[in-house]
Structure 1
Amino acid sequence: MAELLRYDHINIRYGQSLVIEDVDFNLASGEILGIVGESGSGKSTLLKAGMGLLGKEGQLCRGKILYDGKDLGQCSEREMQKIRGRELGMVFQMAGSSFCPIRTLGVQMQEAVRAHKRISKAEFMDEALDLLNKFGFDKPDRILESYPFELSGGMQQRVGIVAAMLLHPRVLLADEPTSALDVSVQKQVVEQFLMIREKFGTSILLVSHNIGVIRAMADEILVLHQGKTVDYGKKDDILAQPTSEYTEKLLEAVPRFRR
């Protein structure tokens, strides 16, 4: 599979603090890479760096982030605005917080699509209803007419994924998309991501502290600890024979149940 996204030996600082050190990995077309580690290990920082959202204090001070051969660190803000959403989609930990509470979901989703391409209201409605149907929503028209607070947290999360996919990005960056959900809704979200890969061939960079979610979704795993890579490789290899003591402890911490 062709390489689509590469983090090439990058260092990231916030002020004087080095939070990511010499992290190197790549994401192929149609592949799911899971980044796992405890809170504060730098997982979300990697996604923000890819989207050019490190803020004023954040700085990519070494290495490159390459998307389809293009150095994202050398792109202007105008160029990044074109890439965000259309090429690199983002799913946040709590999608509901990214929606405006006093406007309907349909209006907000249409506005986001129109920021990247010309589309009539009728065309948007056809595309949005079709995508909501594909993702298993029973009454998609009602979803578009709803305000965010009218939906459960799990439903908001699933709608957030649909919103990110309306522009059919080639890469989807997902930041802890299941962490605030109960187990049954986590399963729905995991199935939704797997369907995205199957139907659209989308590459997914998934950040999670949940080994179970990573196990269910990822092709490859990168284990991050205090901003450094401690394990990286095929999922089956990492889970069966981790090379670092830290990864072994992570796996040992996963609850095991007996009948």
Structure 2
Amino acid sequence: MSGIICYENVDICYNGSPVIKKVSFSAEKGEILGIAGESGSGKSTLIKAAIGLLGKNGSVTGGKIWYEEKNLLDLNEKELRKICGSEIGMIFQNAGSSFCPIRTVGDQLLEEMKEHRKIKKAEFEDEAAEMLAKFGFQDPKRILKSYPFELSGGMQQRVGVAAAMLLKPKILLADEPTSALDVSIQKQVVEQMKMIREQYGTTILIVTHNIGVIRAMADSMLVLKDGKMEEYGKTQEVLSHPQSDYTKRLLAAIPVLRR
């Protein structure tokens, strides 16, 4: 199995109880992989394991996670910190909760960039404004001067995606980035993430329970149930000809509008 990121027989436990069991998949440069399944299936746990975000109670107990021929699980905290953000970015389900409410958006994004490169404030403001403009903000300089609570939920989410892309990482991990948004804003975020892939060749792993999002943007998809792989393959093939009974039930549960 090859790719810019590759999971090889990964097992994950919380407090000694297994939650991910022998999961293997890979994603190539510029590929979008959708990870689907019901709540509690282990989707978010799977991507958080790559950058050490399982918390004190979680641990990878088996397998390997390869990134450009390095096993991420073998890296120490300092080595992993160097990669996180600059090479592997993360978008959280509720971007607003990842911002400090009493500091401006610009101050927080500048701090993030200074962790990985030397940059003057004026240079940062130009780069940040340019990135925010790519995500549809007409007045990016005002956004940088704003506090998170002054932005709507949709704006916070778009800022979160832009923040993750400031350092132009090779891989973007997206944990339910559209779940808290209304349909029109969901469409904007999906289009912006596709734009990221086209402009930067970014590999994207997106966790979602929304099959419509996967259908709209993912090249391939992985279906999880109780921490086990139920289905894995090209998106259109999986959606058109599901092999697993669970996947069939999952697809059958999608609401259909009728006259």
Q: Which bin holds the TM-score, normalised by the shorter protein? A: over 0.9
Look up the equivalent residue of 1:100 and give its one-letter code: C
Look up the match of 1:10.
10
Look up the match of 1:168.
168
Look up the match of 1:252.
252
SS of the residue 1:222 aligns to: strand
1:193-232 → structure 2 map (5 Å cutoff): 193-232=193-232
Which structure 2 segments of 5+ residues have no match?
A: none
Look up the match of 1:69.
69
**C-alpha distance in 2 between matches for 1:258 and 1:56:** 48
Q: Does 1:96 align with 2:90?
A: no
**C-alpha distance in 2 between matches for 1:56 and 1:151:** 32
**C-alpha distance in 1 between matches for 2:76 and 2:13:** 20
**C-alpha distance in 1 between matches for 2:139 and 2:126:** 14
Range 212-221 or range 128-137, more displaced = 128-137
**C-alpha distance in 2 between matches for 1:144 and 1:55:** 30
Look up the match of 1:110.
110
Look up the match of 1:153.
153
Look up the equivalent residue of 1:5 and give its one-letter code: I
Shift of 1:135: 1.8
1:6-155 → structure 2 map (5 Å cutoff): 6-155=6-155
Runs of 4+ in structure 1 deviating by more than 4 angstroms, as ranges, are: none
SS of the residue 1:172 aligns to: strand
SS of the residue 2:206 aligns to: strand
SS of the residue 1:3 aligns to: coil
Look up the equivalent residue of 1:52 and give its one-letter code: G
Look up the equivalent residue of 1:41 and give its one-letter code: S
Q: Number of aligned pairs? A: 258
Look up the match of 2:182.
182
**C-alpha distance in 2 between matches for 1:215 and 1:51:** 26
**C-alpha distance in 1 between matches for 2:6 and 2:22:** 13
**C-alpha distance in 2 between matches for 1:160 and 1:16:** 33
Shift of 1:133: 1.4
TM-score, normalised via structure 2 length:
0.98
**C-alpha distance in 2 between matches for 1:129 and 1:58:** 37
Range 223-232 or range 132-141, more displaced = 132-141
Q: Deviations over 1:38-97 (max 9, x none)?
A: 000000001110111112221111110011110011000000110110010000000000
TM-score, normalised via structure 1 length:
0.98
**C-alpha distance in 1 between matches for 2:136 and 2:16:** 47
Shift of 1:122: 1.0
Look up the equivalent residue of 2:141 and give its one-letter code: D
**C-alpha distance in 2 between matches for 1:15 and 1:101:** 32
Range 232-241 or range 129-138, more displaced = 129-138
Shift of 1:258: 2.5
SS of the residue 2:212 aligns to: helix
Q: Deviations over 1:144-178 (max 9, x none)?
A: 01000000001000000000000100000000000
